[in-house]
Amino acid sequence: MSTTLDEILRSPVGRNSTHWLKFADEWWSHQSYWNLHEMCVVAALRVSEGVDGPDEIPLAADKDTLTMAQVLADVVDHHPISRHLTKTSSPQVHFGSPKQDVNFGDHGGPPLRGKPPRVLWTSSLIDTRSSWLAAIDSSFVPVNASELKEHHIVIDAPKARIFNIDGFEDVATLAELYGIPRNGQAQIDWTAVRADHDAVHLSFRGLLTAQGVPVSSTNGIYSLTSWDCESTAWFNSEHFTRWTQIDIQDGL
């Protein structure tokens, strides 16, 4: 069994994606990478929002789950876009506030559902598509796409210190290096992460194999939750070299 297949089967997001793959007619008809990718983002959102609970997510031993997981693992391991999304690339896309309104820093309250506070969220831009567009197009993100401001950001990625999450072992490293022990659970000290890194990136593979998977560390058990798509959380804009606002309709 391949490493990716094994990790998908142990992940609630991965298994839920394999379940919905059976009903992804657009994928089976056209073998479109983005149809499959968007289905996986929605599957992750369904888990995070509690629409698909633990009892509804198929077991790894289920024959259909194994068959669909193999299809998904092959795409994750071999499709060129999936390989491209393994690392933070340039350009990135951001939906929301203009650059001057981004308020980097630790002040402003606790993390949102385990996410770092006061960061700029981006997703990798592939032609006109990105994981965040898949999330926005779903019914789980309460926004009007026509009212969004879309920004394309050129990144000097080789110079940026980016902590990359491509699997559950990376989550375990995050908890080991930056976890704060609390009653057997680890909470991430994002201030400490910020001191060592410019950003944290969750790859598409990481979404399917690491989100929602409890990992052990000397600081306690930790589970990465609610990132829901390939994305990068930026602690600063030091390595942003160009920022362009475009009409959202240009990317739809």
Q: What is the pLDDT along the chain (252 residues), one digit of tens a residue?
A: 589 999 999 999 999 999 999 998 888 888 889 989 999 999 999 999 999 998 889 888 888 899 999 999 999 999 999 999 999 999 999 987 665 556 666 554 445 457 898 899 999 999 888 888 888 877 777 777 667 788 999 999 999 999 999 999 999 999 999 999 999 999 999 999 999 999 999 999 999 999 999 999 999 999 999 999 999 999 999 999 999 988 655 443
pLDDT at 1: 59
Q: What is the DSSP string of 120-159?
A: EEEEE-BTTB-HHHHHHHSTTS---GGGPPEEEEEE-GGG
Q: How many CA atoms lie within 13 A of 35 on its CB side?
A: 13
pLDDT at 146: 67
Judge if the upstream peptide bond of residue 91 is cis by omega within 30 degrees of 0: yes
Strand partners, 155: 240
Measured distance CA(56)–CA(35) in Å, rounded: 23
Enter the pTM of the model.
0.91
pLDDT at 187: 93
pLDDT at 105: 61
Angle formed at CA 197 by CA 118 and CA 236, multiple of 5 degrees: 40
